[in-house]
Structure 1
Amino acid sequence: MVQKEKLTDLKLKLSAFMERLDDMEPEETSIEDIDELIRMLEELENKI
């Protein structure tokens, strides 16, 4: 993957992560929700 495509992909994944985080209600957040966020962060980290 060329650098520009890689950067675009990372931006999209980070945007999805931030959107998911913004939509969460702290009182209603489950362990599974937190696990999903961690998985998303790990995917981003592996892309870098």
Structure 2
Amino acid sequence: MGNAIHDNDSQILYLKQRLNMFLEVLESVDPESTDLEDIDRMIGMMDDLELKVQQFKKPE
């Protein structure tokens, strides 16, 4: 998938990029045509983001 991110600045940059990606997806969603699968995918994106935050918080 990619190289591990160990330094704090790179971790913060990664999280900001992922959050911005999520916000772009969220802004592009049409509430009238969104189905359950789309919502599940967005929830999965948030779960992945939360997992990364927890991983980055752990002391090395």
TM range (shorter): over 0.9
Relative to the length of structure 2, the TM-score reads 0.77
Structure 1 runs not aligned, ≥5 long: none
Structure 2 residues without counterparts, runs of 5 or longer: 1-5, 54-60
TM normalised by structure 1 equals: 0.95
Question: More helix per residue: 1 or 2?
Answer: 1
Number of equivalenced pairs = 48
Among the aligned pairs, what percent are the same residue?
38
Q: Higher relative contact order at CA 8 Å, sep ≥6: structure 1 or structure 2?
A: 1
Q: Kindly report structure 1 stretches of 4+ aligned residues shifted beyond 4 Å.
A: none
Q: Max radius of gyration: which structure?
A: 2
